[in-house]
């Protein structure tokens, strides 16, 4: 979660581990209640989109069109959706209600769950496993730090249900970290970015693409997985991320002929322009 430029949060330079301790409590009645849900930039993860669109009874195309806008992440040059804020004085999140809080609380995005803890992933050297670390995001108006309720980063993650999101997003996080480790002058084509966006976020469109194109003849799936992806967005997302590793980075197991697969996908995307 980031703040707009005129009210920047203070990101503490200290790196935290899962055992790092802090005091914090957030609840109705605090004078700052819901202030952190306004004037913000919340980048959504693929699993966030699945949870939110299901919660709202929308398909992914509808959800993305109504509630998000696309931005290119500076360090990866990859397109991601962020929550489209209301056009009110405070630029409120569309899901916040005065005095009530978040109306989709059980399905709120990962960034909202982590807050006031920030989370980052490093890829120290080629071939190394990703390394996670955490940090505090302190905003001047946030009274939560005045509480005596003590947490570790690990117990906060557990309480906020972050683990499930991070596990579901693992393939996407690996793609982002991998791309970030490339020199900045290496960029994906516009069509490759469209594939990344569709297979990461637009599950209903990606499902049609998988089932109605030559995808399955190029990337055969076992029977159980094939049956699952017809209805299970999370399983489809996992297939999408594995496939993207192949077509974008020549890794993974589902795109043995990268050039051929990419050429076909790009041709099909050109025939069906979209996000």
Interface with ligand SF4 (CB under 6 A): 26, 30, 32-37, 42, 93, 95-96, 102, 104, 108-109, 112, 115, 141-144
Tell how far CA 151 is from the center of its chain. 25
3-state secondary structure the chain: CEECHHHCCEECCCCECCCCEEECCCCCCCCCCCHHHECEECECCHHHHHHHHHHHCCCHHHHHHHHEEEEECCCCCCEEEEECCCCCCCCECCCEECCCEECCHHHCCHHHHHCCEEEEEECCCCCCCCEEEEEEEECCCCCHHHCCCEEEHHHHHHHHCHHHHHHHCHHHHHHHHHHHCCCCCCCCCHHHHHHHHHHHHCHHHHHHHHHHCCHHHHCCCCHHHHHHHCCCHHHHHHHHHHHHHHHHHCCCCCCCCHHHHHHHHHHHHHHCCCC
Residue 19 or 98: the one with the smaller Cβ distance to ligand SF4 is: 98
**Rounded least distance, CB 26 to ligand SF4, Å:** 3
Pair 138, 145: CB distance under 8 Å: yes
CB of 94 to ligand SF4, least distance (A): 7
Q: How far is the CB of 18 from ligand SF4 (least distance, A)?
A: 21
* For ligand SF4, the closer CB: 24 or 243: 24
Whole-angstrom distance, CA of residue 14 vs CA of residue 6 = 23
Q: How far is the CB of 173 from ligand SF4 (least distance, A)?
A: 20
Nearer to ligand SF4 by Cβ, of 108 and 194: the residue is 108
109 or 240: CB nearest ligand SF4: 109
**What's the min distance (Å) between Cβ of 20 and ligand SF4?**
18
CB of 141 to ligand SF4, least distance (A): 6
**Which residue, 28 or 224, is less far from ligand SF4 as judged by CB?**
28
Q: Which is nearer to ligand SF4, 22 or 249 (CB)?
A: 22
Smallest gap from Cβ 67 to ligand SF4, in A, equals: 10
Q: What are phi and psi of 215, to 5 degrees?
A: -50, -50
* Pick 35 or 84: Cβ nearer ligand SF4: 35
């Amino acid at each position: 979660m980031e703040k707009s430029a005129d009210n920047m949060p203070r990101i503490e330079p200290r790196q935290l581990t899962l055992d790092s301790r802090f005091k914090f409590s957030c609840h109705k009645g605090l004078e700052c209640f819901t202030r952190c849900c306004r004037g913000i930039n919340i980048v959504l993860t693929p699993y966030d989109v699945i949870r939110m669109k299901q919660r709202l009874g929308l398909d992914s195309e509808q959800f993305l069109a109504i509630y998000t806008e696309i931005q290119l992440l500076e360090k990866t040059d990859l397109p991601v959706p962020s929550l489209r804020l209301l056009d009110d004085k405070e630029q409120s999140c569309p899901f916040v209600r005065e005095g009530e809080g978040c109306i989709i609380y059980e399905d709120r995005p990962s960034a909202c769950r982590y807050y006031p803890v920030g989370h980052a992933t490093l890829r120290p050297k080629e071939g190394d496993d990703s390394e996670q670390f955490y940090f505090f995001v302190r905003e001047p108006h946030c009274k939560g730090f005045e509480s005596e309720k003590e947490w570790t980063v690990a117990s906060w993650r557990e309480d906020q249900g972050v683990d499930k999101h991070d596990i579901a997003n693992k393939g996407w996080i690996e793609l982002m970290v991998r791309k970030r480790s490339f020199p900045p002058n290496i960029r994906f084509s516009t069509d490759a970015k469209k594939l990344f966006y569709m297979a990461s976020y637009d599950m209903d469109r990606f499902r049609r693409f998988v089932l109605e194109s030559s995808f399955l003849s190029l990337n055969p799936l076992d029977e159980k997985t094939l049956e699952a992806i017809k209805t299970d967005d999370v399983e489809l997302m996992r297939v999408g991320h594995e496939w993207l590793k192949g077509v974008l980075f020549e890794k993974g197991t589902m795109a043995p002929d990268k050039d051929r697969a990419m050429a076909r996908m790009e041709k099909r995307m050109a025939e069906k322009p979209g996000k």
